[in-house]
Structure 1
Amino acid sequence: MQGYRDDGVVLRTQKLGEADRIITLLTRQNGRVRAVAKGVRRTKSRFGARLEPFTHVDVMLHPGRSLDVITQAEVIRPYGAPLAEDYPRYTAGTAMLETAERLTPMEKEPALRQFLLLIGGLRTLSETGEDAREPRLVLDAYLLRSLAVAGYAPALEECSHCGAQGGSGTEGKSLGAFAVAAGGMVCADCRPPGAASPAPQTVALMLALLRGDWDGAMRSERRHRVECSGLVAAYLQWHLEHSIRSLRHVERA
């Protein structure tokens, strides 16, 4: 069968046999792809370090019986190098890769928006100097936008249960609680037991991250960032019905 070419980000690698690896990529045109890189673990492998997690690569693949086979790989941008030097950035990046894989459950189903979000998130995360942003803020922005692309955007300006708009006007209702299972903010009438009561500044931060308002996000206080991260992590893992193991390390960073 004829091979195909694509570019993608390496999400994960697994050992196969004595010298091979299974490479999981999120690609531009073909979504999530799992393919074998033969001989990649040998010292003299022509692939070298090109197929490591965080690397944006241009690959040539050939269809196989159960897994495709990578026959060529060229590095476009190695995001792993700058991230490996900074533990908070590395753990945030690892959580991004794991989330990207979880949000693309079907192999070879195009997921261009998820791919572009991942590339943008890794690029922002790897920035240094004056342009650098707090890793956890970058991660939370990525998680919120990825959830939105997958159809799980949290309701932050209206009640996620009854749809009432938030606000102090005659038609608006006070949205004082965040219910993960309900899909976001809820009014007093719809508030379920156990719902969180985030500060208004925390909700404003979530909204800023979802919209890409970095000026607003960077003005937020530390306590509201911490509360935001907890809500985003809980919301993500409830919708995925699976824990993101990497987030445990991020929370300890």
Structure 2
Amino acid sequence: MGGRVRGRRAVRSRAYDCRVSLYRDEGVVLRTQKLGEADRIITVLTKRTGKVRGVAKGVRKTMSRFGARLEPFTHVDLQLHEGRSLDVITQVETLRPYGEALVSDYPRYTAGTAMLETADRLTVGEKEPALRQFLLLVGGLRTLAEGTHEARLVLDAYFLRSLAVAGYAPALAECARCGAEAVRAFSIVSGGVVCGACRPAGAAVPAAETIALMIALLRGDWEAADASEPRNRTECSGLVAAYLQWHLEHGIRSLRHVEREVERETEREAGAARHP
């Protein structure tokens, strides 16, 4: 009799463990990498769990049921089974395929790629909740896909807001060192704008309109951002990219493609000005 009781308890325990090891969450696919001959490791920034790495088994096979649903940019609903080192993705449903709208537009695609890489770098620990970073990423990709604002403005707004959520918001209204309102320059090392007395050697001296644009992007004032001049957008992009990469301590590889596109656009604008 005692053996039967213990046996039933063991069965119930295994069933309970199975329920506990399964979990569901929604997230955005950040990147993928090959594993073996048919599998992939999928890195996802999820809404509740944080950054998760899961194995999608057999997705590289031609007849895979959900391989196409686990591509970067895709907002998905996932079911995963907890593993010792990597979780296993058992179910996936597409919520919003942002990649479909981005892959056909090079400026938006490169901006989106830089967003994914930045989200991956800013959420260092796995399975550490990062709800605000997740919401920022979803909002940024949605805005990019809608095409209502210039791609580099959306990207710079995402950079500034994600840095602010991570605790690295640049000072833009008053001196980062002494709090004075009469700002004269922008110093990455100092943490933002600085006054004449606190200005270190090598600090950039952007136009007042460029700082105003950074403030608008950080606040989400799209009316002011959309009305900005191209030269101020270019200057803003350079400062924001440098500030981001200094805090991450490593370069964002995707930014090289964004910067090339900005250079080409600047050349086109200069050519149009010379030959109206």
* Match of residue 80 from structure 1: 99
- Root-mean-square deviation (CA), in Å? 0.7
When normalised by structure 1's length, the TM-score is: 0.95
2:67 and 2:212 map into 1 onto residues whose CA distance is 45
Deviation at 1:48, TM superposition (A): 3.0
User: Does residue 229 of structure 1 match 2:229?
Assistant: no
Taking the aligned partners of 2:90 and 2:178, their CA distance within structure 1 comes to 53
Percent identical among aligned pairs is 75
Per the normalisation by structure 2, the TM-score is 0.87
Report Cα offsets for 1:3-40 as digits up to 9, x if no partner.
00000000000000000000000000011111100101
Secondary structure, counterpart of 1:25 in structure 2: strand
Distance in 1 of aligned mates of 2:221 and 2:31: 31
**CA distances 1:121-172 after superposition (whole Å, capped 9, x unpaired):** 00000014xxx210000000000000000000000011111122x1xxxxxx
Unaligned runs of 5+ in 1: 167-173
| Deviation of the 1:79 alpha carbon | 0.2
Report deviation, 1:176: 1.1
Q: Does 1:53 align with 2:53?
A: no
Return the alpha-carbon distance in structure 2 between the equivalents of residues 159 and 176 of structure 1. Answer: 9
Match of 1:171 in 2: none
Equivalent residue for 1:245? 253
Indicate the larger mover: 225-234 or 44-53: 44-53
The answer to whether the aligner puts 1:144 opposite 2:160 as a matched pair is yes
Q: Which amino acid aligns with 1:54?
A: F
Cα distance between partner residues in 1 of 2:200 and 2:39: 51
DSSP 3-state at the match of 1:176: strand
Question: What amino acid is the match of 1:17?
Answer: G
The alpha-carbon deviation at position 54 of structure 1 amounts to: 0.1
Superimposed CA distance per residue, residues 181-215 of structure 1 (whole angstroms, 9 cap, x where no aligned partner): 11000011111111000000000000000000000
Aligned-partner Cα distance in 1 for 2:184–2:42: 45
* Structure-2 residue corresponding to 1:4: 23
Q: Which residue identity lines up with residue 113 of structure 2 in the other structure?
A: T
Corresponding residue SS for 2:205: coil
1:187 aligned partner: 195
**SS across alignment from 1:252:** helix
Match of 1:210 in 2: 218
Q: Is structure 2 residue 151 aligned with structure 1 residue 135?
A: yes
- CA–CA distance in structure 1, aligned partners of residues 195 and 67 of structure 2: 55
Highest RCO, 1 vs 2 (Cα 8 Å, sep ≥ 6): 1
Tell me how far apart the structure 2 counterparts of residues 162 and 13 of structure 1 sit (CA, whole Å): 45
Instruction: Please tell me whether residue 158 in structure 1 is matched to residue 174 in structure 2.
Output: yes
1:42 is aligned to 2:50: no
- Amino acid in the other structure paired with 2:67: G
Q: Aligned partner of 1:193: which letter?
A: A
Q: Counterpart of 1:29?
A: 48
Q: CA deviation at 1:226?
A: 0.1
Q: Which residue of 1 aligns with 2:227?
A: 219
**Separation in structure 2 between the aligned mates of residue 218 and residue 57 of structure 1, nearest angstrom:** 31
Deviations 1:39-85 (A, max 9, x none): 01001111130000000000000111100000000000000011000
Gap regions ≥5 residues in structure 2? 1-16, 262-276
Tell me the distance in 2 between the aligned counterparts of 1:159 and 1:74.
Answer: 48
Q: 1:110 aligns with which of 129, 138, 144?
A: 129
Distance 2:177 2:89 in 1: 47
Say which SS state the counterpart of residue 212 (structure 2) adopts: helix
2:204 pairs, out of 172, 196, 200, with: 196
Query: Partner of 1:169 in structure 2?
Result: none
Measured after TM superposition, the shift of residue 100 of structure 1 is 0.3
Q: Give the structure 2 partner of residue 170 of structure 1.
A: none
Structure 1 stretches of 4+ moved >2 Å: none
- Decide which structure has greater helix share: 2
